[in-house]
Chain A
Amino acid sequence: MVQPVAEVVEKPAEKPGDVKIEQKVEVTKEEKPVAEKITAGHVHLSGCTGCLVSLADNYEGLFKLLDDYVDWVYDLTLADVRHVPEMDVAFVEGSVCLNQDLAVEELRETRKNSKIVVALGGCACYGNVTRFGRGGQWNQPSHEAFLPIGDVIDVDLYIPGCAPTPQQILHVAVMAYLLLKGSDEQKELATSYLKPLMDLAKRGTEACGCDLMFDVINQSLCMGCGLCAASCPVRAIDMVFGKPQIDTSLCIKCGACYAQCPRSFLNMDVINEFEGITELVAAAMGTGGE
Chain B
Amino acid sequence: MVLGNYKQCVSARATDRSILARAQDGGIVTQLFAFALDEGIIDGAIVAGQGEQPWQPEPIVATTKQELFAAQGTRYNICPNMALLKEATRSYGLDKVGVVGTPCQMQAVRKAQLYPVGMRYVGDKIALAVGIFCMENFPYQGFEAMTEDFCNVKLESAAKMDIGKGKYSVYTERGAVSQMPLKHTLKFVQPGCHVCLDYVANLADVSTGSVGSPDGWSTVFVRTKNGDDIWAKAMAAGCFETKPIEEVKPGLELVTKLATDKITKNQKHVDERATFGVRADGSGKALRSYL
Contact = CB atoms under 8 A, between A and B. Distances in A.
A167 B112 CA distance: 10
Contacts of A230: 82-87, 112, 118-119, 122
Contacts of B104: 223, 225, 262
B250 interface: no
Contact of A166 (B83, B121, B202, B291): B121
Given A167-B123, A220-B287, A225-B101, A231 B78 contact: no
B178 interface: no
Interface size class of B (residues with CB under 8 A): 35 or more
Interface stretch (A4-12, A91-99, A108-116, A274-282): A274-282
Nearest to A217: B192
Contacts of A277: 114
Contacts of A226: 59, 80-85, 108
A257 B192 contact: no
B87 to A, nearest CB: 7
Interface in A124-175: 159-161, 163-168, 171
B137 A224 contact: yes
A274 B80 contact: no
Interface centre among A196, A221, A256 (most CB of B within 10 A): A221
A242 B82 CA distance: 11
Interface in A218-272: 219-227, 229-233, 239, 241-243, 254, 256-257, 259-260, 262-266, 268, 270-272
A254 to B, nearest CB: 8
A219 B108 CA distance: 18
A215 interface: yes
Nearest to B198: A268
Contacts of B291: 266, 268
A266 B192 CA distance: 14
Nearest to A158: B117
A67 B24 CA distance: 53
Contact of B116 (A167, A272, A275): A167
A165 to B, nearest CB: 4
Contacts of A259: 115, 117-118
B111 A242 contact: no
Contact of A171 (B114, B191, B203, B225): B114
Contact of B82 (A225, A254, A266, A271): A225
B290 A229 contact: no
Interface centre among A230, A233, A270, A272 (most CB of B within 10 A): A230
A241 B78 CA distance: 7
Contacts of B117: 159-161, 164-165, 168, 231, 256, 259-260
26 contacts: A161-B118, A165-B117, A165-B118, A165-B121, A167-B116, A167-B120, A171-B114, A193-B114, A220-B192, A220-B195, A221-B290, A224-B80, A224-B137, A224-B192, A225-B108, A226-B108, A229-B83, A230-B82, A232-B118, A241-B140, A271-B110, A271-B203, A272-B1, A274-B203, A277-B114, A278-B113
Interface of A: 54, 159-161, 163-168, 171, 193, 196-197, 215, 219-227, 229-233, 239, 241-243, 254, 256-257, 259-260, 262-266, 268, 270-272, 274-275, 277-278
